[in-house]
Amino acid sequence: MSLFVKPGTEWESVYSRCWSVAPDAFGEGRLLNFWGGRRRLEGTPGELRSPIDGTVLTGPAPLAPIDVKRAVRASLNEHRTWSFASLPERKARVLAALDDFAEHGELLALLLVWETGRTWQAARSDVDGCVEGVRWYAEHMLEPCDPLRGPVGNLASWRHPMGVLMHAMLVQALTGNAAIANAPAEGGVNCLTLATSLAARHGVPVTLVSGGEAELSTSPMLGRTSYLDQHGVSCWGVWGFSDWPKLTPRVRASLGQDRQRFVVQRSLFDDFLAAYLPAVRDLRFGHPLAVADPADPLPELDFGPMVNDGRVQELHDIVDDALGQGAVLLHRGSLDEGRFVPDQDTAAYFAPIAILKAPATSPLHQAEPFGPVDSVVLVDTEAELLAAMHAGNGSPSFMCDEEPTAERLAAALRGPVHGPQRLDGQAAGVELPIQATAETHLGTPVR
């Protein structure tokens, strides 16, 4: 049966809903930057193409540097007022914004799907993560923090516009700081435009501009600049492990969602492959909004497209280079296995690939690209295991049956890892408690 875009989720329908919710931001046939408490017509409007199928979307309107400086100064003025607001008032305004986010969560998520190619479930998770995470901070913040001397400038990529960027801005507002963000150029600007409008209605001092990365990095009017991207490879160590059904959700989580590597005890490699290959062959990908019947729910996919076709070619080149240097191909999927509508543009899609022993000179070794590529490394000793897990400079985790071994490996891996953002808006390098269990995670925010 042929697939089609679920009625009501087409881009035209989604954009029309945005206009009805926030005509101040979407009513001019273009996206407007927001600073100084109102929408601005400055900037040259552009277009984006959805990675899903090439649909033309409303794009950002980059500001000239002088206009970005004006926006930063206006944010500084808002900061000076907001910093004197009481903690109860800050909480009330931020929580009211979160209520609006929750009310319009479906719309915010649909915007993320079209702009970034996230699956429906991943987009909802990004929106819900923002709402739930900021609520947690609001509920647990009992004493006011000392505001910075100026607003916080935020720079982030397209990957998590709500769950990282907007989450950070609202936490910064809770702590008495105005927040200004640069809209990601590759996707997320429509979603952030709507979220900014909803937050501003309740007096939360947020500013959203396109362009101006340099000004948001160096302006002396800022109290701090927050770089919100996460880089590096997240490694899963597999050592003394036998509960192989638990591997399947790790495979589904890794391909297309994280930059991930499996570091596997060599003596377990045959059992690992027996569990891994069926899981990777069963991955579901394709058009995130395609259904066979109008009444069908949106599909549960493991991943959708990459952010654009240029990233697809880049990833093909990286994989081909690794294979040319001696890496071993474990699995290569095909776009024929994807769920697509008839005659769909699939230029931004990349079928899943898994390789063994990426060479040390490959980007897959140190900074694995975001996309549906897994790499596997074999090790013989615990020392090799720990070294390989640290090599990717990401968040290490491991799977192990025996609690004493888990305790020892956890102690060796313990160190400064990424936890929740500190309430003063700084990036928090914290040491999190690690429990010795059959499955140990490092870097999981404490709730």
Q: Angle CA(421)–CA(424)–CA(425) in degrees, nearest 5?
A: 50
Give domain 4-227's CATH number out of 3.40.605.10, 3.30.70.270, 3.10.20.30, 3.40.50.720: 3.40.605.10
H or E element, residue 269:
helix 269-281
- What's the pLDDT score for residue 414? 59
Q: Tens of pLDDT along 151-196?
A: 999 998 777 899 999 999 999 999 999 999 998 888 899 999 999 9
pLDDT of 415 strictly over 60: no
Stated length of the chain: 447
Strand partners, 439: 399
Closest among 60, 28, 64 to 46, alpha carbons compared: 60
Amino acid in position 289: L
Burial of 428 (0-12, 13-18, 19+ CB in 10 A): middle
CATH dotted code for 234-441: 3.40.309.10
Q: Tens of pLDDT along 215-228?
A: 888 899 999 999 88
Tell me the C-alpha to C-alpha distance, in Å, between residue 103 and each of 23, 71, 91, 229, 270. 17, 29, 18, 27, 49
- What's the pLDDT score for residue 418? 33
Question: Model-level pTM?
Answer: 0.87
- What's the pLDDT score for residue 47? 86
Tell me the domain boundaries of the chain.
4-227, 234-441
H or E element, residue 329:
strand 328-332
Q: Tens of pLDDT along 324-352?
A: 999 999 999 999 999 999 999 999 999 99
Per-residue pLDDT band for 384 (boundaries 50, 70, 90) equals very high
User: Is the fold of 4-227 the same as that of 234-441?
Assistant: no
- What's the pLDDT score for residue 426? 36
Question: What tokens appear for 414 in the block?
Answer: 């313990």
**Count of CB atoms within 10 A of residue 279's CB?**
20
Least confident range from 168-177, 248-257, 303-312: namely 248-257
As a whole number of angstroms, the distance between CA 162 and CA 113 comes to 12
3-class DSSP state for residue 333?
Answer: coil
3-class DSSP state for residue 49?
Answer: strand
- What's the pLDDT score for residue 147? 95
